[in-house]
Amino acid sequence: MVENAEAGTLRLMHVHAHPDDESSKGAASTAKYVAEGVDVHVATCTGGERGSILNPAFEHPGILENPELIAEIRREEMDKAREILGITQDWLGFVDSGWPEGNPKPPLEEGCFALVPIEEAAAPLVRLIRSFRPHVLTTYDENGGYPHPDHIKCHEVSVYAFEAAADPERYPDLGEAWQVQKLYYHHGWSRARIEAINAAMERHGLESPYKDWLETREIDPEHEKRLTTRVPCSEYFEVRDRALIAHATQIDPNGFWFAVPREVQAEAWPTEDYELVKSFVDTQLPEDDLFAGLR
């Protein structure tokens, strides 16, 4: 458990479902804030025990048959990514729910994170919020960013804990109440961002990995309008990529994540994007800083 940050330091907490999510969602803005002296802490809900091996170059005998070995390796990967990003981190201790496949999908495994009652699932996060005392907390939207059961549960737990941590009558044995000042949702893959990157790739005569995506993927215009905050962080895309590569079971260094050159990304869309959901400080939209109104 982390100790309280020293007085006067801005504190930011990201709540993520699995190890690697902290590197694939908002990692460049994380690195930017760390460089500015912000104390950044990640709460990781599960150990990623049921994650698949998504990197075809990763080899480890027996790993797919041994969830405990997968969990151990993913902890080691998280150690590396944490060091690269310059953050602190806690595991909330829940078991990965997996990604059920089939039609209809099979039921989730008993005891997994997605099936834990909300009051129980939120307790370790409430304790952590009251210990770390963040000014800003980020998580996923109500769809989980994408509908993985752990991402949806992560959203539910984060919003519940954001409110509960501020109420001294709830979880009175988990520390002194703390009101987080701002709550954000990640907005990673907006259509506007993909269109901008796709156009930049075409301008440079490069093959875009998003062409088919733009032709086939449906969009929700109302959801796109919810973006409120774009944090400039392109100079930290390199740090983000190194943190991603640290998750060797999940990330193919020759794969999709790295199909667009960093300089093209920086030209087309030099920000990471968020939706301000709740604020107890005055701020003016749109923002370019998660700490707008707090500095």
Nearest to 280, CA basis, from 142, 165, 152? 165
18 is in an annotated binding site: yes
- Tell me 258's DSSP state: G
Calculate the alpha carbon distances from 257 to 73, 244, 262 in Å. 21, 9, 11
Query: Which amino acid appears at position 246 of this protein?
Result: A
- DSSP, collapsed to helix, strand or coil, labels residue 138 as strand
Query: Residue 233: in which H helix or E strand, if any?
Result: none
151 is in an annotated binding site: yes
- d(CA 236, CA 36) in angstroms, rounded, equals 12
The string over 204-215, giving b where at least 16 C-beta atoms fall within 10 Å of a residue's C-beta and e elsewhere, is: eeeebbbeeeee
Nearest to 138, CA basis, from 25, 38, 235? 25
Cross-strand pairs, 272: 231
- Tell me 65's DSSP state: G
Known binding residues: 18, 21, 151
Known binding residues for Zn(2+): 18, 21, 151
